[in-house]
Amino acid sequence: MIKTQRLHLRFIKDSDAEAIQDALTHRQIADSMISIPYPYSIEETKQDIKKYQQEQKSGKACVFVIEGIEDKNFYGLVEIRNIELEHSQAELSFWLATKAWGKGYMTEALQAIVNYCFKTLNLNRLYCYHMLKNHASGKTIKQSGFTQEGTLRQRVKKLGVFEDVALWAILRKDINVL
């Protein structure tokens, strides 16, 4: 478990399925996320949790639930995926429930996750993507010390529309800026 001033970040559990699925019933999240479908059923949620747990056991991923320390509310997920030990890098993916938007929770969580990636997982590079129309994610990523490396034009097709995607990264040597 990782603890910040206001948050607990803990590994995902089977019992998180209902909270995750409930949060993802809000189309605003799916509309702005590359890999979240809409609608998102409880069966899909349970299958994804099993997949996350298998990837975690194999060392390919770490999936953290974000919850409030005081209220114990579910706020979202942070996934460290595609962990490549050979190249000492991984991809970061994250989302917040709509009730947690605008409170700085994700910036707080990402600072702790970045530290975890470099200090505990011993990575050299952490990268992430966001659709350009998702300005809040771009702002959070930048505030977390990432540098935009480029724009991938029409990289994803989301709900029938091709979307441009920004690529960001942070290196171990950049950690001191946090």
Q: Please tell me the number of Cα atoms within 13 Å of 91 on its side-chain side.
A: 10
CATH number at residue 124: 3.40.630.30
Q: What is the mean pLDDT of residues 151-173?
A: 95
pLDDT digits (tens, 9 = 90+) for 105-122: 999 999 999 999 999 999
Contact 89, 133 (CB under 8 A): no
Residues 17 and 28: their CA atoms lie apart, in Å, by 19
> Is pLDDT larger for residue 27 or for residue 105?
105
pLDDT at site 178: 45
Lowest mean pLDDT among 28-42, 58-72, 118-132, 145-159: 28-42
Residue that is written with structure tokens 């050299």 in the block: 124
Count of domains for the chain: 1
* pTM (predicted TM-score): 0.93
Residue that is written with structure tokens 């899909």 in the block: 44
Q: pLDDT class for 176, splitting at 50, 70, 90?
A: low
Q: What is the mean pLDDT of residues 80-100?
A: 97
How many Å is the Cα radius of gyration of the chain? 15
* pLDDT value at 35 more than 90: no
* pLDDT value at 177 more than 70: no
Percent of the chain past pLDDT 70, that is, above it, reads: 98
Q: What is the mean pLDDT of residues 74-87?
A: 97
Q: pLDDT class for 67, splitting at 50, 70, 90?
A: very high
Residue 106 is part of which domain span?
2-177
